[in-house]
Amino acid sequence: MPWAGLAARLVLGGVLLVAGLLKVGDTDASVRAVRAYELLPDAVETVVGQVLPLAEVALGALLLLGALTRWAALAGGLLMLAFSVGIASAWARGLSIDCGCFGGGGIVEDDRPAAARYLPELLRDAGLAVLAALLVARPRTPFSLDPGDGRTPQDADDDPDHPDHPDHADHADHADHADHADHADHADHPDHPEEGPRP
Q: pLDDT digits over 1-45, tens only?
A: 678 999 999 999 999 999 999 999 999 999 999 999 999 999 999
pLDDT tens per residue across span 92-125: 999 999 999 998 888 888 888 889 989 999 999 9
For residue 33, give the nearest of 52, 14, 15, 8 by alpha carbon: 52
pTM (2 decimals)?
0.73
Q: How many domains does the chain have?
A: 2
Neighbouring residues of 134: CB distance < 8 A, sequence distance ≥ 6:
4, 5, 8
Same-domain status, 130 and 47:
yes
Asked if residue 198 belongs to a domain, the reply is no
Expressed as residue numbers, the domain containing 183 is: 157-188
Asked if residue 193 belongs to a domain, the reply is no
Same-domain status, 11 and 90:
yes
Q: What is the mean pLDDT of the chain?
A: 83
Asked if residue 126 belongs to a domain, the reply is yes
Give the CB-side neighbour count of residue 171, counting CA atoms within 13 A. 8
Same-domain status, 115 and 135:
yes
- Give the pLDDT band of residue 153 (cuts 50, 70, 90): low
Same-domain status, 87 and 123:
yes
Asked if residue 58 belongs to a domain, the reply is yes
Same-domain status, 77 and 40:
yes
Question: So what's the pLDDT on residue 91?
Answer: 95
What is d(CA 13, CA 188) in angstroms, rounded to the nearest whole number? 64
Asked if residue 141 belongs to a domain, the reply is yes
Amino acid identity for residue 181 in this structure: A
Asked if residue 25 belongs to a domain, the reply is yes
Task: Identify the H or E element spanning 141.
Answer: none
Same-domain status, 127 and 168:
no
Asked if residue 196 belongs to a domain, the reply is no
Same-domain status, 124 and 180:
no
Question: So what's the pLDDT on residue 21?
Answer: 97
Same-domain status, 24 and 92:
yes
Same-domain status, 110 and 174:
no
Asked if residue 195 belongs to a domain, the reply is no
Same-domain status, 97 and 166:
no
Q: What is the DSSP-derived secondary structure letter of residue 101? A: B
Same-domain status, 10 and 86:
yes
Same-domain status, 97 and 67:
yes
Q: What letters, b where the CB count within 10 A reaches 16 and e where it falls short, cover 117-127?
A: bbeebbebbee
Q: What is the DSSP-derived secondary structure letter of residue 1? A: -
